[in-house]
Amino acid sequence: MVDLAQKFDVLVIGGGNAALCAAISARRSGASVLVLEGAPKFYRGGNTRHTRNMRCAHDAATEILTGPYTEQEFWDDLLRVTGGQTDEELARHMIRESKDILGWVVEQGVRWQPSLGGTLSLGRTNSFFLGGGRAMLNALYLTAEQIGIAIAYDAEVTDLRIEDGMFLSATLKQPIGGATEIRAATLVAAAGGFEANIEWLKQYWGEAADNFLIRGTPYNRGSILKTLLAKGVQEVGDPTQCHAVAIDARAPKFDGGIITRHDSVVFGIVVNKHAQRFYDEGEDIWPKRYAIWGRLVAAQPDQIAYIIFDSTVLNSFMPTLFPPIKADSIAELAGKFELDAAVLEKTVTEFNAAVRPGTFDHTILDDCRTEGLTPPKTHWARKIETPPYYAYPVRPGITFTYLGTRVNKQARMVMKDGKPSANMFAAGEIMAGNVLGKGYAAGIGMTIGSVFGRIAGREAAQNARN
Amino acid sequence: MHGTRILEEADRLMTVCNSCRYCEGLCAVFPAMEMRRSFSDGDLNYLANLCHSCGACYTDCQFSPPHEYNVNVPQNLAIARAESYAAYAWPRAFSGLFARNGLAISVIAALSVAAFIFGFAAFNDHQVLYGIHTGPGAFYRLMPHNAMALLFGAALLYAIIALTMGVRAFWRDIGEPVGGRVDAGSLFQAMRDAGELRYLDGGGVGCFNEDDHPTDRRKIYHHLTFYGFGLCFAATVVGTLYHYLLAREAPYAWWDLPVVLGTLGGIGLLIGPVGLLTEKWKRDPVLVDQARMGMDVAFIAMLFLTALTGIALLLLRDSAAMGPLLALHLGVVFALFVTMPYGKFVHGIYRYVALVRYARERQMMAHGAAAK
């Protein structure tokens, strides 16, 4: 074990993609580096464990990418999903740097694979980690060990000593090797958002937050973010907002991961606990609808909803972890969820009556729609009339939060007075709100993590030398 | 509903994995899984035998223990695989040999060696048994060549029949029509995949053994063992052909083909099993079927003993030790042959068959996609 009483050039708080990219980049720039991961070894890496791919710009097809994805196209996509809530200069800088990241992470041991089943729509824009996010992390950690980066697990930081925008030391909850106060010349904060902090979420969502499920790590409690903001770092991003998708209500409270997601909305109808429909299930195609149903369910009573479909579409979507609940009649199905049977029968009957004939194609905005129904189902509407009937109960699954620390192009934190911090940098979800103020595009969280992690590490190392 | 508790668990795991699919680039198991939405006993036995136990999917899995989903595919499939060996054993009455395989193989080997020693002693007088024999036909003064060929030919024939019956049962269980023609392309593809141990590499970095640092050691030791075994077998075949076609009798000179093949193979078969055993002992218990350790060790030990006694015979064949060593070597080889259908040897057969099936499925999927 490394002596933690020594003063390090770079202290990285966090243990995910951004943290490891920062640590490796700082170490390769000649700095001594300590990584403090608050989670135990198995859970190291925060939400990176649950990721799968990264969105990088590239000018030509590669072995694993089917075609070019230009900087301009990436920018257009980002502009669209954020509705303009992004820092253009910073975002364009990130997109430019992302081109280089594709090769850089491979030099750090990460391996790519072509996109396969169920993800072909991302085959041109996104590079997939062979073996998934945890495999990517394992590779980064192996590299970090090999090049002499000190890593401590179960190393929760409870406080930071910061004076006039200058980081001095970090306080550990429990001493490691006798040390509780960690000193370093520079700090890279890469400790994620606060999505696993239900109390904090309640500030904005009230008691409804008790019914939220957290898709990723239970360790993203936002304590580093909170401390930084309390000690003069400028905030960025809407604190009240988080990214949420509809996931199975039977999923565990934390860390259920990718496999609890549902995308059968398009194949049926969605009702709330009063057995009433509440939104157009056919409004948009994946991935946009993927990203809206979490908030839609969050706005319903008790934050629960039910996706209802019939036997004709049972095999039309990816197999699910939790099997759908099955019944021979709509009334029986209602009984299994304590829904009012008469109301659900009426909802389904009215829906069926409103369905107009059309040619079903779930890959485009097809012409199967309802008429005279409120809310309408504007695409992919087909009658639910072939028993047995099925339902998935769904709840909001929180992926990440948008609130973060403001940074500049060096990934250097910006203080409330607008001045750059003397020696503090941030990377990953903790500063994602700078470029992603709203919405989401697949794989962009990893881009933010790797690009700003690499920049933060390099800059911190240089800062430590001066 | 599945036939066994372990297949129930395999079904649960494949349901988890099929809704995740992050591991699809690692090996053949996950792409094969993705071709299905539900899993019969046969499907699960097919996937179990397709798994090479490299451990990558465990190390890479965000849901492996202590996560509450408790996803441990390598260990579950290892147990399912071993249970499938017993389930497909022919005749059924002998499937119990898999239960305490280490003991069973040891007893059979000991009895076999004892029978050869006893037989040599009973059929030869003392001077012949401990005499020094050199030149062509030296071995056959202790046991006539025809008797040797007949006995070992019969043992091998029995092993082939029993293995064939097992493969038939497996092939039928995994949903392939028995008697149907398998295309040469699939057979060849599977031969390449097996020959290279294509899927014993953690998706490219190597296997996971004692920790999360991947290494190619198991693959290298397996190659030494497998190709060592192949060379030894080739030596036997060449020797037999020499005997019957060219009327050239063993022992052969050191430079002659059977001796060269046997020596090279023997060296592989000495180093390979020792390496495999060492790696096995170091391996993280969470990845393996610990109850079946005896089966693995027994087979590795038999291969090692085959090589060791063979090499000893080669080195000491001009001495008085030749008689007892010949009995020892023949006893070990005979035991190896007759226990082939009832020990770890079958893993290679079933895995090859699973790879053939996989090659066929891939081909059919490709054709299906093209037709669309």
Q: Which residue has the higher pLDDT, A435 or B370?
A: A435
Chain B residues touching A320 at Cβ < 8 A: 19
ipTM rounded to 2 decimals: 0.94
If you ran DSSP here, which 8-state letter would residue B103 be given? H
Rounded Cα distance between A175 and A186, Å, is 21
Domain that holds residue B223: 87-371
Q: Tell me which of A350, A365, A397 is where a domain ends.
A: A397
Chain B residues touching A138 at Cβ < 8 A: 59-60, 212
Region A349-355 average pLDDT = 97
Judgement on whether residues A24 and A134 belong to the same structural domain of the protein: yes
CA Rg value for chain B: 23
Side-chain-side CA neighbours of A295 within 13 Å: the count stands at: 12
Rounded Cα distance between A186 and A459, Å, is 10
Judgement on whether residues A49 and A197 belong to the same structural domain of the protein: yes
Q: A319 to chain B nearest CA, in Å? A: 5
Which chain B residue has the Cα nearest residue A252? B68
Are B333 and B306 in contact by the 8 Å Cβ rule? The answer is yes
Return the minimum-mean-pLDDT range out of A107-121, A152-166, B157-171: A107-121
Is position A349 within any domain? yes
Is position B238 within any domain? yes
Position B184 scores a pLDDT of 93
Using a 10 angstrom Cβ sphere, with 0-12 exposed, 13-18 middle and 19 or more buried, the burial of residue B38 is exposed
Q: B359 to chain A nearest CA, in Å? A: 18
**Per-residue CA distances from A30 to A17, A69, A188, A291, A460 (Å):** 20, 33, 16, 41, 11
Please report the number of interchain residue pairs, chain A to chain B, with beta-carbon separation below 8 angstroms: 79
Tokens 């996931």: give the residue.
Answer: A247
Position B365 scores a pLDDT of 83
Q: A323 to chain B nearest CA, in Å? A: 9
Are B204 and B54 in contact by the 8 Å Cβ rule? The answer is no
A350: CATH? 3.90.700.10
Q: Which residue among A111, A128, A259 sits closest to B16, beta carbon to beta carbon?
A: A259
- pLDDT per residue as tens digits for the range B96-108: 999 999 999 999 9
Query: Count of CB atoms within 10 A of residue A294's CB?
Result: 25
Chain B residues touching A133 at Cβ < 8 A: 22, 62
Q: Is B215 on the interface with A (CB under 8 A)?
A: no
Q: How many domains does chain A have?
A: 2
Domain that holds residue A96: 8-239+402-465
Which chain A residue has the Cα nearest residue B21? A117
**Which residues are within 8 A (CB) of A59 and not within 5 positions of it... i.e. 6 or more apart?**
A68, A70, A99
3-class DSSP assignment, residue A45: coil
Task: Copy the structure tokens of residue B286.
Answer: 């969470």
Is position A163 within any domain? yes
- pLDDT per residue as tens digits for the range B72-87: 999 999 999 999 999 9
Judgement on whether residues A14 and A71 belong to the same structural domain of the protein: yes
> Please, which pLDDT band fits residue B367 given cuts at 50, 70 and 90?
confident
Return the minimum-mean-pLDDT range out of A260-264, A415-419, B285-289, B356-360: A260-264
- pLDDT per residue as tens digits for the range B199-248: 999 999 999 999 989 999 999 999 999 999 999 999 999 999 999 999 99
Judgement on whether residues A233 and A248 belong to the same structural domain of the protein: no
> Please, which pLDDT band fits residue B369 given cuts at 50, 70 and 90?
low
Chain A residues touching B37 at Cβ < 8 A: 315, 319
A193: CATH? 3.50.50.60
Q: Is A311 on the interface with B (CB under 8 A)?
A: no
Return the minimum-mean-pLDDT range out of A119-123, A267-271, B128-132, B289-293: A119-123
> Measured in Å, how far apart are chain A's first and last C-alpha atoms?
28
Helix (H) or strand (E) segment spanning residue B87: helix B73-88
Judgement on whether residues A418 and A392 belong to the same structural domain of the protein: no
Q: Which residue among A49, A132, A142 sits closest to B23, beta carbon to beta carbon?
A: A132
Are A12 and A190 in contact by the 8 Å Cβ rule? The answer is yes
Q: Is A64 on the interface with B (CB under 8 A)?
A: no
> Please, which pLDDT band fits residue A34 given cuts at 50, 70 and 90?
very high
Helices B293-316 & B217-241 angle (0-180, nearest 10)? 50
Q: Which residue among A52, A138, A255 sits closest to B22, beta carbon to beta carbon?
A: A52
B16 and A255: CB-CB below 8 Å?
no
Query: Count of CB atoms within 10 A of residue B346's CB?
Result: 27
Region A350-378 average pLDDT = 95
Q: How many domains does chain B have?
A: 1
Judgement on whether residues A225 and A325 belong to the same structural domain of the protein: no
According to DSSP, the residues that pair with A424 across neighbouring strands are A187
Task: Copy the structure tokens of residue A389.
Answer: 């009937």
Chain A residues touching B60 at Cβ < 8 A: 131-132, 134-135, 138
- Supply the pTM of this predicted model: 0.94
The amino acid sitting at B289 is D
**Which residues are within 8 A (CB) of B261 and not within 5 positions of it... i.e. 6 or more apart?**
B231, B232, B234, B235, B238
Q: A108 to chain B nearest CA, in Å? A: 13
Is position B296 within any domain? yes
Judgement on whether residues A128 and A192 belong to the same structural domain of the protein: yes
User: Strand A157-163 vs strand A166-176: parallel, antiparallel, or unpaired?
Assistant: antiparallel
Is position A1 within any domain? no
Quote the Cα angle for A203-A209-A211, to 5°: 170
The amino acid sitting at A33 is V
Rounded Cα distance between B49 and B10, Å, is 12
**Which residues are within 8 A (CB) of A117 and not within 5 positions of it... i.e. 6 or more apart?**
B21, B24, B34
* Phi, psi dihedral angles at B137 (to 5 degrees): 80, 5
Judgement on whether residues A228 and A102 belong to the same structural domain of the protein: yes
Chain A residues touching B21 at Cβ < 8 A: 116-118
Q: Is A287 on the interface with B (CB under 8 A)?
A: no
Is position B317 within any domain? yes
B56 and A135: CB-CB below 8 Å?
yes
Torsion of CA B314, B317, B320, B323, to 10 degrees: 80
How confident is the prediction for chain A on average, in pLDDT? 95
Tokens 């309390």: give the residue.
Answer: A230
Region B156-185 average pLDDT = 89
Is position B9 within any domain? no
Return the minimum-mean-pLDDT range out of A381-395, B62-76, B247-261: B247-261
Is position B202 within any domain? yes
Tokens 């939104």: give the residue.
Answer: A279
3-class DSSP assignment, residue A310: strand
Mutation target to probe the B interface, by most B beta carbons within 10 A, among A259, A263, A320, A392 is A259
Is the pLDDT at A364 greater than 50? The verdict is: yes
Mutation target to probe the B interface, by most B beta carbons within 10 A, among A41, A64, A120, A130 is A130
Region A420-427 average pLDDT = 98
**Which residues are within 8 A (CB) of A191 and not within 5 positions of it... i.e. 6 or more apart?**
A13, A14, A19, A38, A46, A157, A220, A223, A224, A225, A428, A430
Is position A337 within any domain? yes
Rounded Cα distance between A423 and A446, Å, is 24
Is the pLDDT at B306 greater than 50? The verdict is: yes
Judgement on whether residues A23 and A165 belong to the same structural domain of the protein: yes
Region A95-115 average pLDDT = 94
Chain A residues touching B67 at Cβ < 8 A: 42, 255
Q: A321 to chain B nearest CA, in Å? A: 5
* Phi, psi dihedral angles at A405 (to 5 degrees): -95, 135
Is position A448 within any domain? yes
Is position A169 within any domain? yes
Q: Which residue among A255, A258, A320 sits closest to B67, beta carbon to beta carbon?
A: A255
Judgement on whether residues A456 and A379 belong to the same structural domain of the protein: no
Region A157-171 average pLDDT = 97
- pLDDT per residue as tens digits for the range A41-63: 999 999 999 999 999 999 999 88
Nearest alpha-carbon partner for B239 in B116, B139, B143? B139
Q: Which residue among A49, A130, A321 sits closest to B16, beta carbon to beta carbon?
A: A321
Judgement on whether residues A388 and A424 belong to the same structural domain of the protein: no
User: How is B53-81 classified by DSSP, letter by letter?
Assistant: ---HHHHT-TTSTTSTT---HHHHHHHHH
Is position B75 within any domain? no
If you ran DSSP here, which 8-state letter would residue A411 be given? -
Q: Tell me which of A364, A397, A430 is where a domain ends.
A: A397
Q: Which residue among A130, A134, A321 sits closest to B61, beta carbon to beta carbon?
A: A134
**Per-residue CA distances from B309 to B156, B157, B201, B313, B315 (Å):** 19, 23, 32, 6, 10
Q: Which residue among B26, B34, B213 sits closest to A131, beta carbon to beta carbon?
A: B26
Query: Count of CB atoms within 10 A of residue B147's CB?
Result: 12
Mutation target to probe the A interface, by most A beta carbons within 10 A, among B13, B54, B62, B201 is B62
Q: Is B298 on the interface with A (CB under 8 A)?
A: no
> Please, which pLDDT band fits residue B95 given cuts at 50, 70 and 90?
very high
Which chain B residue has the Cα nearest residue A145? B213
Region A380-394 average pLDDT = 97
Is position B31 within any domain? no
According to DSSP, the residues that pair with A182 across neighbouring strands are A170
Is the pLDDT at B370 greater than 60? The verdict is: no
A-facing residues of B in 43-62 (CB < 8 A) are: 56-57, 59-62
Kindly state the percentage of chain A with pLDDT values over 90. 89
> Please, which pLDDT band fits residue B372 given cuts at 50, 70 and 90?
very low
Rounded Cα distance between A9 and A74, Å, is 35
Judgement on whether residues A388 and A411 belong to the same structural domain of the protein: no
Tokens 């008469």: give the residue.
Answer: A342
How confident is the prediction for chain B on average, in pLDDT? 93
Using a 10 angstrom Cβ sphere, with 0-12 exposed, 13-18 middle and 19 or more buried, the burial of residue B180 is exposed
- pLDDT per residue as tens digits for the range A194-210: 999 999 999 999 999 99
Position B179 scores a pLDDT of 65
Rounded Cα distance between A267 and A317, Å, is 9
> Please, which pLDDT band fits residue A118 given cuts at 50, 70 and 90?
low
Region B280-299 average pLDDT = 94
B-facing residues of A in 377-396 (CB < 8 A) are: none
Q: Which residue has the higher pLDDT, B366 or B330?
A: B330
Is position B36 within any domain? no
According to DSSP, the residues that pair with A151 across neighbouring strands are A35
* Phi, psi dihedral angles at B346 (to 5 degrees): -65, -20
- pLDDT per residue as tens digits for the range A128-150: 999 999 999 999 999 999 999 99
Q: Which residue has the higher pLDDT, B14 or B251?
A: B14
A50 and B62: CB-CB below 8 Å?
yes
Are A34 and A207 in contact by the 8 Å Cβ rule? The answer is no
Chain B residues touching A257 at Cβ < 8 A: 20, 62-63
Q: Tell me which of A397, A421, A443 is where a domain ends.
A: A397
3-class DSSP assignment, residue A72: helix
Q: Is B249 on the interface with A (CB under 8 A)?
A: no
Helices B346-371 & B145-173 angle (0-180, nearest 10)? 40
